[in-house]
A = this chain, B = another copy of it.
């Protein structure tokens, strides 16, 4: 034990200094506000304007209203298509329109969106052909739209994995001198996955311009938020990564757009990622195949009707005098036409080409795949012959 004495000797002189004076609160600027940001009351009457989250221009809000109305009509139509067997399954986001549309309106077309299976409305709001949006659920291929051209990743099913992709994409873009922002949608349940942790942390460490947008709709299929976290709210996860965070009333379209706009500016200005938690609610079952009566009662759902984001924004815009019956009717007609066109196009059975299964496994099929393709080609030919004979 020779080290101790000398260590003590060494220690003595230098360490008589006082403990450094208490530093300022290190979590300052990283914690969310205790209450979700709100700019409109549920009935659409405005709350006092606030410094931190200036209200978006009214034209933007009007456009937001339009896309929310069309989005909801699309969503209702998609659910109807499942009943007619045109879609294998459909996860509705009715009730989450403010988040779905706000998440997209806050971005430029050159920014990247990382949607989940829940984000069909966000995709239509982004201007993606609704039939291409539904390709995955219709079952003729996986991703129906051109992800590269639309700067929109394929809808992600393996939960939270997109959080890491968004960090990488955003960092890669800035690394190459582009001011792209990536916005990753994620659900409340998915925040429990390790990839949420790793993704947000990578974004924070590399100061990647990402907005992590948590739509806390209170359920992961049947599992309530209380089984996902014991935290005061999901927005409190940000500080653990050094990521500024805030929470917003997800059914207040004005607040959602205001908060996301600031979050996107924060990211684009090189300050790194921002975490937003929106408190919202899905009015429909998890998917058309889900039986929600097993885990929540009608009253709970009913109560949320009072917080309908579309009614809320409509009331406000009418109040502001930028929306009247005529305008509402025009938008409603547009939504109807949109849905009708979708219905018609979805009635046509899509053409699928079995041999295309081999086209994109690799840039060039391996010899083994070429062999298998020949086998399938032969099977198809034989089948056609039989049909011919028949």
Chain B residues closer than 8 Å to A328, beta-carbon distance: 1, 4
Give A331's nearest chain B residue, CB to CB. B1
Binary CB contact string for chain A from 157 to 182 against chain B (1 if under 8 A, 0 otherwise): 00000000000000000000000000
Chain B residues closer than 8 Å to A236, beta-carbon distance: 26-27, 30, 239-240, 242
Interface-side segment among A194-202, A284-292, A345-353: A194-202
Chain B residues closer than 8 Å to A108, beta-carbon distance: none
Give A194's nearest chain B residue, CB to CB. B194
Complex Cα gap A310–B5 (Å): 10
| A358 beta carbon closer than 8 Å to chain B | no
Candidates B5, B30, B237, B311; contact of A11 at CB < 8 Å: B311
Candidates B3, B5, B42, B194; contact of A197 at CB < 8 Å: B194
A226 to chain B, nearest CB (A): 8
Complex Cα gap A242–B229 (Å): 7
In the complex, the answer to whether A19 meets B47 with C-beta atoms within 8 Å is: yes
| A332 beta carbon closer than 8 Å to chain B | yes
In the complex, the answer to whether A73 meets B1 with C-beta atoms within 8 Å is: yes
Complex Cα gap A354–B310 (Å): 72
Q: How many copies does the complex hold?
A: 2
| A105 beta carbon closer than 8 Å to chain B | no
In the complex, the answer to whether B43 meets A34 with C-beta atoms within 8 Å is: no
Given A12-B43, A315-B11, A328-B1, check contact A26 B310 (CB 8 Å): no
Give A332's nearest chain B residue, CB to CB. B1
Given A34-B23, A204-B229, check contact A7 B43 (CB 8 Å): no
22 contacts between A and B (CB under 8 A): A1-B73, A1-B310, A1-B332, A1-B335, A3-B72, A5-B311, A7-B308, A7-B310, A8-B44, A8-B314, A8-B315, A11-B305, A11-B306, A16-B43, A22-B34, A22-B35, A192-B198, A193-B194, A197-B197, A205-B227, A230-B241, A231-B239
| A222 beta carbon closer than 8 Å to chain B | no
Interface-central residue, A4, A204, A226, A307, by most chain B CB under 10 Å: A4
A116 to chain B, nearest CB (A): 18
In the complex, the answer to whether B4 meets A23 with C-beta atoms within 8 Å is: no
Chain B residues closer than 8 Å to A198, beta-carbon distance: 192-194, 197
